Amino acid sequence: MAQITNEKLKHFIREKGIYAAMIITVCGLIGIPILFLLVSSTVIGIGTILIMFFGCGMLGIIQWKYVKDDIDMAYNQFAMYAFAGFGMCLVNLILFINFSIPIKSHTETYTISRAGSYNEIVIADKDENGSIERVLNSYISDHPNDASSSANEITISFKTGLFGLDIISNCTFK
C-alpha cells in the first residue's frame, strides 16, 4: 500500500511538478509588494534582507538533490523557482511571523538633527545602516498628523518580533 502511494506521488511530481513550482514562483513574485510592505515597518538593513534572500534561496537550491530525479525541470528553471519562489516566500514568512508575534517592547529617544522636505526626519544619533530613519520616515508618511517640524527629539516605541527584529509601533515628538 505504501509503495502504491509512493509511486502515485512520484507520478504526480513528475507530471505536475513544474506547475507546482511555477505556482510557487508566481506567488514569490506576488510576494515582492508584500516584502516591501513588511520591510517598510521592520527595522532591518537592506543588506540583511539580501543575505536572508540569498540564504533562503540556497535552501531552495538544496532541494534539487532530492527532487531532480522526480521532476521534469532543468536546473536553471529550478534555480529560478528556488530563489524567486521558495526564497521569496520564506523571507516573507519570516518577516510576517516576526511582525505578527511580538515578544517584547521598548522605547528609545533620538535627537532630531534636521527635518527635511516632505516631513523627512534625520536623526543625530548613530544609525549605521539608516534602517531606523527609513522606517521612521515611512511611519511619518503614513501618519503625517503626528509629525512636528519644530520638535528636537523623538521617542519611538518598538515591538520586538519573534525573530528579534524591531517594528516601530508609535512615535512621539518632543
Domain positions in the chain: 2-100, 102-173
Blockwise average pLDDT, block size 10, the chain, 174 residues:
63 64 74 90 90 94 85 81 87 95 92 69 68 81 69 86 92 82
Per-residue cell: 132: 531606523
Per-residue cell: 41: 515597518
Contact 110, 123 (CB under 8 A): yes
- Write down the pLDDT at residue 74: 80
- Write down the pLDDT at residue 162: 95
Q: Are strands 153-161 and 102-115 parallel, antiparallel or unpaired?
A: antiparallel
Angle at which helix 2-41 crosses helix 131-142, to 10 degrees, equals 80
Question: From CA 56, how far away is CA 100, in angstroms rounded?
Answer: 20
Contact 70, 14 (CB under 8 A): yes
What DSSP state is assigned to residue 128?
Answer: T
- Write down the pLDDT at residue 99: 94
Beta bridge mates, 112: 123
